[in-house]
Amino acid sequence: MCGITGVFNFEGHDRVSMQMLNRMNRVIRHRGPDEWGIFMDDRIGMGSMRLSIIDIRNGTQPIHNGDKTLWIVYNGEIFNFQELKQDLCRTGHRFYTATDTEVVLHLYEQYGADCLQRLNGQFAFAIWDTRKKELFLARDRVGIRPLHYAIANGALYFASEIKSLFASGKFDGKIDPFALDQIFTFWTTLPNRTAFENIHELPPGHWLRISRENFEMRKYWDFPLLPRDEHLDLTPSEICEQVRPMLFDAVKIRLIADVPVGSYLSGGLDSSGITAVIARHFNKDVQTFGMRFEETDFDESVHQGQMTNFLNVAHRELLVSNKDIADGFEAMIWHSEKPVLRTAPVPMFLLSRTVSDSGLKVVLTGEGADEVFGGYDIFKEALIRRFWARQPNSRIRPELLSTIYPDIFKNPSMKQSVINFFRQGIDTPDDPLFSHLIRWNNTKRIKTFFSDDLKGHLRDYNCLDELR
């Protein structure tokens, strides 16, 4: 990851303070420890903290186009940048680096905002047009790379992390009560809101263009939800045949780097599958990383051992104790920049620090597999509950939940209370929130502990209504 920052005085009152921009950069130095760079003119200041992965020696940001009328600061990876670069060269574009950053800039020069449709990757970037005095911000389709912004006194401030905006000295870091209501229901905020008042997050799949005369935000991508009659009706083996080459290609393009690339290996299906593809087809010497837990119920070291022996990879394990999780919680909160309702992110934070300490800058993970392939219990749970909803008084259909939660159903004293829990909303299967509503209603009970002042501020606000 890299870090980007910037201040655009779109009303043109004052030049950006170099001292302020340096403060904004320093607070996110952890994102880009290799080098930093700044561009400034009479209207804007942009900073970059770089973690160098491609073209290590020549890729210093900010990067400019041929006549220096466009400048970019960028955090991300564009996996098809080499093909895009070839196409741009054929149309007359010339490059002075071998980075994907410069390809994004020239692609914007050629196609404007439509360049985003051609990018295969994860990114957050800002482009300054010196002729139009116009700033363009963009974020990848599903929001893998963060990008925050805020407006104050005729200027737009942007940064990879909220703490950079606070470092500007222009924002007080006041908690947004409506954001708290959302977090203590959904575990996160709804798009464009953060935990802090007047601090916004550019939503995934959106771009923002701002000048003195114009402020425009648009969605350029959304999930391709198709009607049932357009779904592919394939057998599991046919699906596997289609997914296999896509998965191999997805792994291959993520290994493009001028530095070594490692892999997480928890012993679970997702990271084991990714690591197997790497070791068997691309890099048999890949370095892998996994965790062991003091709590035996969470420990998967046996499965890790089986996979590392089977693949014959160099594996490094991190033993995580309960005390490690407690000690690391504060640092995890500082990085996550929002209230967190469980401790699960802490071990991942500790493991990523282990990877960094080992000298690696890039690591592949199995993150996202449950979302893509329906691995979470809540997906199976929703199918069973929809089937149950056809005969809501059935005593047999709720028993199917025991296939997902066998340990709970073995306990007679808990069985009926669990069935009653999943019975909530069973008479409204067409509710668009049907799958998650019982979980969100369960989570929002935490709001019992909200102060009277906070409850009074929220009044009749209902974040579920906003989501609908």
Dihedral-angle region of residue 169 (phi above 0 means left; psi in -120 to 50 means alpha; beta otherwise): left
Question: Using N-to-C axis directions, what is the helix angle for 269-281 and 301-311, rounded to 10°?
Answer: 10
Dihedral-angle region of residue 299 (phi above 0 means left; psi in -120 to 50 means alpha; beta otherwise): beta
Count of other CB atoms within 10 angstroms of residue 82? 13
Q: How far apart are alpha carbons 365 and 264 in whole angstroms?
A: 5
Q: How far apart are alpha carbons 78 and 2 in whole angstroms?
A: 14
Q: Is 240 a catalytic residue?
A: no
Q: 């005095």: which residue's tokens?
A: 133
Buried b (16+ CB within 10 A) or exposed e, 83-103: ebbeebeeeebebebbbbbbb
Q: Find all residues with CB under 8 Å of 239, minimum gap 6, and list them.
A: 232
What are the backbone dihedrals phi and psi of residue 178, each rounded to the nearest 5 degrees, phi first? -70, -35
- Find the largest Cα–Cα distance for the chain: 75
Active site residues: 2
